[in-house]
Amino acid sequence: MVLDDIKKTFDAVIGQLTPAKAQEMAKRYLEPGAAKEQVAKTASELIDLSQRLREAVRKEVTSQMRSMGAATQDELDLVRKRVRDLERAAGMTASGGRTATRKTGAPKTSGPKTSGQKTSGRKKTTARKTSSKSPASRRKSSSAS
């Protein structure tokens, strides 16, 4: 029974302790028939203790996470914002695809190009097969056989 009371006390003090729960705990640990002022004061002290313990735990967790090199929520938010800005600048969508770009000017016509239409400035070239041996070295190796 005493162990159950201790567990309940730790749960209440470490967790979010409500005023009603603090009043209940104060009544349980004070003498029966204690003055209302004494119960209220004890309940207030329990709430204060709960808040101080939660803050101490939060600080310790933060310290341990920093020592391990974990990023804070603020740092992650900054990285997300930077990535979004870079994606926008590169014309990317959130899914990784490129956004459609609008071209201004005359609409495209379908069908083959006529002599009156402009062609792109690039010359078309055919792909060449490359070889690790030069033509001269290939001739030498085939004549040696």
* 27 in Cβ contact with 39 (< 8 Å): yes
SS (H, E, C) 13-65: HHCCCCHHHHHHHHHHHCCCCCCHHHHHHHHHHHHHHHHHHHHHHHHHHHHHH
Would you give per-residue pLDDT tens digits along the chain (145 residues)? 567 777 777 777 677 788 888 888 888 888 888 888 998 999 999 899 889 988 999 999 999 999 999 998 999 999 999 999 999 999 876 666 666 655 555 555 555 555 555 555 555 556 555 555 555 555 555 555 4
Structural tokens at position 110? 């379908």
Structural tokens at position 143? 């004549």
Calpha distance 44→50 (Å, rounded)? 10
Rg of the chain in Å (alpha carbons): 38
* 32 in Cβ contact with 23 (< 8 Å): no
Partners of 10 in beta bridges: none
Place of tokens 């974990």: 70
